[in-house]
Amino acid sequence: MKSRFLSLVLLAGFLFAGPAFALDLQQARGSGLVGERLDGYIAAVNPSPEVMRLVEEVNAKRKQEYARISKEKGQPVDVVAKLAAEQIISGLAPGSLYQSPDGGWKKR
């Protein structure tokens, strides 16, 4: 059951970087403008108005999806988000930034 739940979270994670944001999010990741946080959301590493807009849009969509999965699976939203973060971070392209447990940024 846990692996099925993780599979759903992984699938949802890939949907977050879906067609509407794929190119922008990928470019922002590849340029080191954003990083994946441990809580399942992205953060601006090098903020600008465009980057902040992207961060807000992606995080809003992720929040909605985490809430949907939470309701569907009966898991707290923060648990869903943290599981998604693990899956997203493990699938990042080399050079992408992610948050370390101490709060700093590391490259994949």
- 4-49 confidence digits (pLDDT tens): 565 555 555 544 444 444 348 989 999 999 999 999 999 999 999 9
DSSP letter assigned to residue 75:
-
- Domain contains 45: yes
Q: Which residue's structure tokens are 């059951």?
A: 1
Strands (E), 6-75: 34-36, 42-44
Residue 44 included in any domain = yes
Q: Distance between terminal CA atoms of the chain?
A: 29
Domain that holds residue 85: 2-100
Domain count, the chain: 1
What local confidence, expressed as pLDDT, does residue 6 receive?
55
Residue 33 forms part of a structural domain:
yes
Is 37 inside a domain boundary? yes
In a domain, 108, yes or no: no
Secondary structure of residue 107 in the 3-state scheme: strand
Q: Is residue 105 part of a domain?
A: no
For residue 106, being part of any structural domain is answered with: no
pLDDT digits (tens, 9 = 90+) for 68-100: 999 999 999 999 999 999 999 999 999 999 999
